[in-house]
């Protein structure tokens, strides 16, 4: 049995927060998305949309941040496995970055739908 897989919840949370802390310190894009999340929460508090909008906006915002974290993990792993420039590693990194782009575009679509919903109601 792998003892590393069956650690306490406290230890697993410690590892997760260590990863988040690393990404915040090392990745400008993670910091940017977190600042956007703070801004989004402020805007939601001001606009006071229906709870379903809070849920949609927060879920897509967290998904973007999660994609950034996966992107960071993939980049670090790829760099560890192949420190030199390699065309296949470039494709892997580009695809991971594209996942963030796709989710970010989805987040903008949610924001646009919220704007239409709020301004259409007035």
| Residues belonging to the active site | 68
Distances in Å between the Cα of 77 and the Cα atoms of 23, 87, 96, 122 are: 14, 15, 12, 50
Distances in Å between the Cα of 76 and the Cα atoms of 41, 49, 67 are: 30, 39, 14
CB 100 within 8 A of CB 71: yes
């Amino acid at each position: 049995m792998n003892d590393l897989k069956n650690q306490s919840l406290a230890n697993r949370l410690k590892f997760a927060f260590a990863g988040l802390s690393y990404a915040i310190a090392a990745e400008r894009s993670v910091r940017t998305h977190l600042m956007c999340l703070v801004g989004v929460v402020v805007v939601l508090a001001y606009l006071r949309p229906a709870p379903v909008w809070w849920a949609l906006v927060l879920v897509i915002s967290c998904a973007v941040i999660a994609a950034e974290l996966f992107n960071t993990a993939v980049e670090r792993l790829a760099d560890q496995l192949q420190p030199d420039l390699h065309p296949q590693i470039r494709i892997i990194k580009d695809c991971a970055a594209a996942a963030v782009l796709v989710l970010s575009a989805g987040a903008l679509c949610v924001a646009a739908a919220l704007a239409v919903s709020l301004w259409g109601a007035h």
